[in-house]
């Protein structure tokens, strides 16, 4: 066991688990941000390929990155 900066005793595996969760969230948020900003720039052909309309793309692009 290790002692955290707050004096709690934590297992290394618990710390790694939390780090993985944080990294997974950051990765997902970055992907959401990037893809939502690209949606309005897609052509009609590409929007049809992914099965959404311009209005749906516009609404999706306005969502916050943390909004799953």
pLDDT tens figures, 26-55: 999 999 999 999 999 999 999 999 999 999
Separation of alpha carbons 4 and 55, rounded Å: 49
Burial environment of residue 3 by CB neighbours within 10 A (0 to 12, 13 to 18, 19 or more): exposed
**How far is Cα 38 from Cα 60, in angstroms, rounded to an integer?**
10
Contact of 37 with 61, CB cutoff 8 Å: yes
pLDDT at 65: 93
Looking at the predicted structure, is the pLDDT value of residue 3 above 90? no
pLDDT band at 2 (very low <50, low <70, confident <90, very high): low
Q: Are 10 and 2 in contact (CB under 8 A)?
A: yes
């Amino acid at each position: 066991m290790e002692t955290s900066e707050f004096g709690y005793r934590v297992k290394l595996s618990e710390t790694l688990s939390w780090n993985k969760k944080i990294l997974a969230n950051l990765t997902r948020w970055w992907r959401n941000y990037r893809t939502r900003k690209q949606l309005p720039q897609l052509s009609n052909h590409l929007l049809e390929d992914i099965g959404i309309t311009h209005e749906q793309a516009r609404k999706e692009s306005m969502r916050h990155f943390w909004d799953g």
